[in-house]
Chain A
Amino acid sequence: MPRRGKVRTDSLLSQLSATVVKSFMNVEYMVGRAAGVLVKPLSLIVTNYLFGNFLASELAAAFLAVMVLNGLLGFDLHRDFYSAYFSLKKSSMLAHRYQDYLSSLIAVSFLGALIIIFFFSLKGKLVVLSAIAIGVYFFSERMIDESLRFELYAERFESWGRFATVRVLFQGLAFGTASFILVQVEFEPIAALVGSMALGNFAVFFVLKSGVSSRRAAIKRLSSVRRWPEAVGRMVDVNKIYWLISALGILLSTSDRLVVSLVAFEKLAYFSLLASCFSIMVMSLDYLVFSMARGKLLRGDITSREIIMSSKCLIVLFFSSVCGGVAAAALPAVYPGVAVDYWLVVFVFMLQLCVAITVIPREFVYWHCAPVVLVAIELGAVLMGVILVWLSSISPWPIRGALLGLFLVLIFRFFVLEWLSGRAAASSRLAVQWSSKKMRE
């Protein structure tokens, strides 16, 4: 008779492999995902190899700024149009909502591009041409991301995969060409490299056949900027507390790279690559554990602690951290010119682990507590982080001190969220018991 523990492990492994096999069935989607995850790290590696670490760090700063601003301007602009488009009964206002959606999207993207140009021009390290290129890149990323989101909502995973893959191929082609030209021509390197990434985005946006005519028509209609103030008004009219939660969340999840960009800029590219290596923990936990338990979590059938302490979660965390560790150990072999800092590797591992496991109680608190509670916790964490990082920056060990401070803040945030989710789960179970008892009576 098989032992109980063995049966349990076998069923876990078969469950996990079933998930993996199911995902890999959709090859185009998986290829698109992998290409999307790899394109930025690869561009950093190539830039470092050809042009040196400092330029790679400047490129990493451009990527980071675009990612953070994308999160900060992450208003749910698509909500009204999507609810009209995907509802069973087509709304008669669909065309109008589509126009509203696109005009808000272009207005927000344009605003973001202006913010980013202003920021990088003020920074003084980059010339204006590079700042403009980063702004244009932001605009192109936003437009492409929205197009890809539509494919996902429409459940056209193959189309999503093709779109994402062709985008990366175009970007790779443009990036390679820009790099080759940069060897020969005296030109602003960041403007050329980031501009090539934007060019890749625009190329896929206009070249891909599906929906080209409607996109062109829509953009033509939107050429009148008179609609933009109205669009920005609608954008500001979104539910501010949920936007605040999302904005604070992106600040905390990218806080490690933000800190390194301030304290040790020349290490930013290497650090971003290390974070990419260990982000496999975040992705695999989200994909293999959390996505399957989300329904139960939202219904209150399972607590975040039960998910985190489950064998499945621990196995996924263990294997993904080993994979991340191997990738981080191999990184110096493909990223020459930077002295290996083992402390940095340890800090990145701890910070990414924190980010990975915090996703679960954060989601629970998001759905089961008042939004203001989550805002208070996130805001407190951001403020604590700023104070600790500032204190470390004037200490004799700025980078390690800052990262240690950040880790303490993130782990404290995790325990607060975990404690809150436990309380919320207990009260919701009590409520269920009380109502079933009432029903029996």
Chain B
Amino acid sequence: MRTSRFSARVESYREEILVSGSAYLGTWLDSASREKIRVFIDDMSPSGAEINYEGTEKRIWDGHLLSADISVFEKMANDVVSRFLGRSVEAYTVLAYSNKPLPSNSRAELGRWHIDSLRRQMKVFMFLTDTTEASGPFEWVVGSHSVQFKVRALLGGHYWSFWPIHRGGTRKYSKLPDGWVEEELRNRHEIRPLLCGAGDVFLVDTSSVHRARPCREGARYALTAYYRN
């Protein structure tokens, strides 16, 4: 599908993003191109990548500068976000990454819930493989991008720590307590996983509470275009 046609449907998903924080845009790229990107991720040497979660996650930053196929994705994502925001924007980086199954009872299962920013921050995700409950879908707290939610969380001290030195130099909102999300928030809000097929593209406001659920089986490959808030 051409970029302009893909992004032209902005009005149809605007409402959905404003209400829930995420919207499905359609399917992008043919399977051969997706396969090429997966091979690119697998072939990248560890020195050119960031390895997390006990070696199960491989992240390649600035993928659009390294692969022509990812560059095509970046252009599409730019067009989508520019139309959504009503001004011309460009992604400051595109992340290409893969997740393999975590060993059971790994510590890396914990402390994954976070928000990217207190202000609205848009990201475009494209999944290169089918994403199931077990392969570690992206999941988010529906409606947690709303102003009321953020103000409540700020005033309740969930997003803001007066003295970040106690947190080892991290922002409080970049690692939210699992207990708060899984117990307190789950009672009041829906936590929705993005279960999708290969090639599906989503526009997400990542100022909502979200995480990548730990991968249990199979593998998850994806691209993410980042935009400044």
- Residues of A with Cβ closer than 8 Å to B? 49-52, 54-55, 180, 182-184, 186, 189, 330, 332-337
Contact = CB atoms under 8 A, between A and B. Distances in A.
Nearest to A330: B165
A191 to B, nearest CB: 14
Contacts of B164: 49, 333-334, 336
A50 B121 CA distance: 13
Summarize A's interface: helix, strand, loop or mixed: helix
Contact of B168 (A50, A183, A333): A333
Most buried by A among B119, B163, B228: B119
Most buried by A among B92, B169, B228, B229: B169
Given A333-B169, A336-B174, A184 B151 contact: yes
A335 B117 contact: no
B31 interface: no
A336 B170 contact: yes
Interface string B151-164: 10010000000011
A336 B171 contact: yes
B161 to A, nearest CB: 9
Summarize B's interface: helix, strand, loop or mixed: loop
B211 interface: no
Interface residues of B, number: 19
Interface string B124-136: 0000000000000
Given A182-B119, A336-B171, 12 more contacts: A49-B164, A51-B118, A52-B117, A52-B228, A180-B154, A183-B118, A183-B150, A183-B151, A333-B164, A334-B163, A336-B169, A336-B174
A63 B165 CA distance: 25
A50 B118 contact: yes
Contacts of B174: 336
B169 A334 contact: yes
A412 to B, nearest CB: 37
B24 to A, nearest CB: 24
A184 B150 CA distance: 8
Contacts of B117: 51-52
B62 to A, nearest CB: 13
B171 A183 contact: no
A45 to B, nearest CB: 9
Contacts of A189: 119
B159 to A, nearest CB: 9
B68 interface: no
A182 B170 CA distance: 21
A55 B163 CA distance: 20
B120 interface: yes
A256 B36 CA distance: 44
A337 B168 CA distance: 11
Given A49-B164, A333-B164, A183 B119 contact: yes
B72 interface: no
A124 to B, nearest CB: 12
B169 A335 contact: yes
A189 B120 CA distance: 12
A189 B117 CA distance: 13
B29 to A, nearest CB: 29
Interface in B194-229: 228-229
